[in-house]
């Protein structure tokens, strides 16, 4: 479930979508590359080799994200729509992808385009539902010249818990640490651990539809719509692995974050530590929080201690 490096965070490397060369590697393995899983409303960063070479970042200067930024636009086409749907863009950023190839380091320039997948995307249901499949494509246009579309796997949710390396946050080079918040907005850490019973908030992308209709590319209102059907579960131990919440896991209402676009939050009471749970330290956590909805789950760890 975890993404690493620059890509960490609700996000997905689509590789070079546009190219000025005759052939481009779009995947490796023993079968055709799978479509990229995305959910309605998901904030995601596309990495593309584009004709336009940026020298500096361009960021949306208003609260509502535009559908054209820095000469780039993105469109969504799908079986269940007669016309393409314009995709809101938050930022376009020049980035380098480098690899050490003896005797030199080889780098190529890419453009990172952070967008919100429209809520108009129709997710596919279970195969057993016998509902016709929705085939969806995402296309970047560079100065109105469309590139090669990439296939999407439209799902109801594709959860990604935010961490400190995520785009479009102010990304750190690492280590990538989960962003859990105390009630005062400060970050939970080994120096400021969560205390059993206190309210802790996590933030995430990709939870999918809210309980009421949400407008794509527009900041969430206050009070923000709720998102029901989200299960939460806990795994205790030193950096315990994240596994899907069990059938008996309680559900908590999440919300879209007022004033933000495509960002969700979930506030929950820090659970009691079972007897024998090891203490956390500066390099290890002792609680993994797992959240899940119908199509996906994700987990992140934090430092929890009993009240002193």
115: which 2 tokens?
């967008």
**Is this prediction's pTM over 0.75?**
yes
Helix (H) or strand (E) holding 44: strand 43-48
Q: Determine the Cα angle at 34 with ends 33 and 38, to 5°.
A: 140
pLDDT on residue 2 = 39
Q: What does the domain layout of the chain look like in residue ranges?
A: 5-154
Mind listing the pLDDT tens digit for each residue in 126-185? 766 677 889 999 999 998 888 889 999 999 999 999 988 885 545 556 678 889 999 999
The percentage of the chain sitting over the pLDDT mark of 70, rounded to a whole number, equals 85
Classified as helix, coil or strand, 227 is: strand
Mind listing the pLDDT tens digit for each residue in 14-23? 444 444 444 5
Answer whether residue 54 shows pLDDT above 90.
no
Nearest to 90 by CA among 121, 109, 64: 64
- From residue 116, alpha-carbon distances to 1, 22, 71, 149, 224 in Å are 20, 30, 17, 17, 18
Residue position matching structure tokens 């993105």: 74
**What's the whole-number mean pLDDT along residues 193-222?**
96
Answer whether residue 13 shows pLDDT above 70.
no
């Amino acid at each position: 479930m975890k993404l690493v490096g620059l890509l960490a965070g609700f996000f997905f490397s689509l590789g070079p979508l546009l190219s000025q060369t005759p052939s481009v590697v779009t995947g490796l393995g023993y079968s055709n590359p799978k479509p990229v899983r995305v959910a309605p409303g998901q904030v995601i960063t596309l990495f593309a080799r584009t004709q336009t070479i940026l020298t500096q970042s361009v960021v949306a200067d208003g609260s509502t994200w535009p559908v054209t930024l820095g000469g780039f636009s993105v469109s969504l086409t799908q079986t269940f729509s007669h016309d393409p749907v314009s995709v809101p863009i938050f930022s376009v950023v020049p980035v380098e992808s480098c690899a050490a190839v003896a005797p030199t380091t080889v780098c190529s320039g890419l453009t990172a385009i952070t967008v919100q997948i429209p809520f108009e995307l129709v997710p596919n249901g279970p195969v057993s539902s016998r509902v016709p499949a929705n085939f969806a494509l995402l296309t970047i246009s560079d100065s109105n010249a469309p590139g090669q579309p990439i296939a999407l796997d439209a799902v109801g949710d594709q959860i990604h818990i935010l961490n400190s390396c995520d785009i479009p946050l102010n990304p750190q080079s690492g280590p990538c640490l989960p962003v859990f918040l105390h009630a005062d907005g400060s970050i939970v850490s080994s120096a400021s651990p969560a205390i059993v019973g206190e309210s802790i908030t996590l933030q995430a992308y990709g939870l999918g539809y809210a309980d009421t209709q949400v407008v794509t590319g527009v900041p969430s209102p206050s009070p923000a719509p709720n998102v029901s059907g989200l299960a939460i579960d806990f795994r205790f131990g030193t950096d315990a692995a994240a596994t899907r919440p069990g059938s008996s896991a309680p559900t908590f209402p999440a919300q879209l974050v007022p004033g933000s676009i495509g960002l969700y939050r979930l506030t929950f009471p820090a659970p009691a530590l079972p007897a024998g749970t090891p203490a956390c330290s500066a390099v290890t956590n002792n609680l993994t929080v797992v959240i899940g909805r119908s199509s996906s789950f994700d987990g992140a760890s934090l430092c929890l201690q009993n009240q002193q």
